Structure 1
Amino acid sequence: MGCEVTAFSSNPEKEQEVLAMGADKVVNSRDPQALKALSGQFDLIINTVNVSLDWPPIFEALTYGGNFHTVGAVLTPLSVPAFTLIAGDRSISGSATGTPYELRKLMRFAARSKVAPTTELFPMSKINDAIKHVRDGKARYRVVLKADF
């Protein structure tokens, strides 16, 4: 689709999977040295996680005028020094998943571009197993429940 994609992950075990999905490179989001080496490299960072990270080096990875966009519902405040935003003319934005119209457009784009999610299927009768699987950090990458009653 014309973009160079760098994936951030806190789980080194996912690196080969993420590269196989099409990422150009993978960076450990919990490695301060790796994050520092990315300073000023990204026009856009899309955050999909709902956990708190060390945000300043992630914001510093943005280019001048870069945007950090979150769709991940992080429950704690995003803490970043104002100077990091001001000096780099950087911005922060966020959005929900979209309106029904936008979701239809997204689905058409995904179908046309042959983009498909990686999911794991659990029967609804095993919902407790599915929840434990997610909480244990073992989900690859979305868990789907299927009615079996």
Structure 2
Amino acid sequence: MKYGLLAVLWLFIVLAFRTVRSDLFGSRTPARVPSVATAPRTPAPVPGKQPRRRSQARRLVVTEGSLAGTTIGLSDAVVTLGRADDSTLVLTDDYASTRHARLMPGEGTWVLEDLGSTNGTYLSGAKVVRPTPVPVGQQIRIGKTVLELRR
């Protein structure tokens, strides 16, 4: 009985340590490189036809928080948000996770996805629980940081 309790106590300590470590430093995920067979193919542009713009939003603007006034130009690349040094926008917010959320270009809009953050990601006051399209001008809240997509 005494040894069982001791084993459970050590298991709890190890799990708590792993949780704190992954929150501070992020989890290790190997980079995925698409193989030739699975690489997506981009169709050739049709002459005389204008390519459709991915989104009307051209920039991501921080409107509240310690980074207020920061602007990021948007392209067709995924925008990562969090405290990790390799994030596109490194948040200095105590309520942000290491890898908190990401914005991905979709068909004519940007899509917001929470990456399993501790405190959640909110779009116009509603918690984001699945990838959600983000209209231009709607507030994205991560902790005390508020962001908006703008034209």
Report TM bin, short chain. Answer: under 0.3
Structure number with higher relative contact order (C-alpha < 8 Å, ≥ 6 residues apart): 2
**Which structure has the bigger radius of gyration?**
2
